[in-house]
Amino acid sequence: MSRAERLLDLLQLLRRHRFPVSGAALAAELGVSLRTVYRDIATLQGQGAGIAGEPGLGYVLRPGFMLPPLMFSEEELEALVLGSRWVEQRGDSRLGQAAGNALAKIAAVLPSELREQLHTSTLLAGPGAVIAAGDAEIAQIRRAIRQEHKLHIDYRDQQERSSQRVIWPFALGFFDCVRIVVAWCELRQGFRHFRTDRIAALVQLEERYPRRRQALLKEWRATEGIAPQ
């Protein structure tokens, strides 16, 4: 790997982290020495990269810093195509359309040889199962999560018992056969998982829930023993 490639990889790695990451963690992921990481960060800072931090405290890329023109490896292109095709198959129609549009925008700014690789990828996503919850409901749940609004739902459990809940939705999981809303349930006063195909009706309330969704997600991950991403 050339030094230019290593510097670009370092920028890409920093971009993936929203919070400061240690030099040791960067070195381990890049497969280089800690001294090399410190030297490369100093080089990037000298060239105007918006990297904040220092040894012992960690480093973070300031918001708004623009990376060089899009360049991808073969594996990165394959990941983009496969991910887009998976979303088109298993997301609601609006999310599927957005995945296709995003891939088209990426293709428009790629060099011609990479654009050809993107269009001729042979990685396919198999068709997803038909899920009872329709496009309108999934889109409404996603909107409530983005806006951090409460939802009132009529829910049927596995034994077909009905209940009415007010929930704070903060995540939506897409699986092959089901979609799961992760939320704080006011009735149970705890985190609960709701299958979208068991939601008989839902209404987005005007009231916002009192905590930020990222804080709820972090707490839920800790409760479930899931490592942060």
| Residue with token string 């009905």 | 162
pTM surpassing 0.85?
no
DSSP string across 153-186:
EEEE-TT--EEEEEEEEEEEEE-SS-EEEEEEET
pLDDT of residue 144: 96
pLDDT of residue 213: 95
CATH architecture label of 3-61: Orthogonal Bundle (1.10)
Cβ neighbors of 122 (< 8 A, separation 6 or more) are: none
d(CA 49, CA 62): 9
The per-residue pLDDT for range 64-107, each reduced to its tens digit, is 665 555 567 778 888 989 999 888 888 788 888 888 888 888 88
Give the CATH fold of the 135-224 domain: SH3 type barrels. (2.30.30)
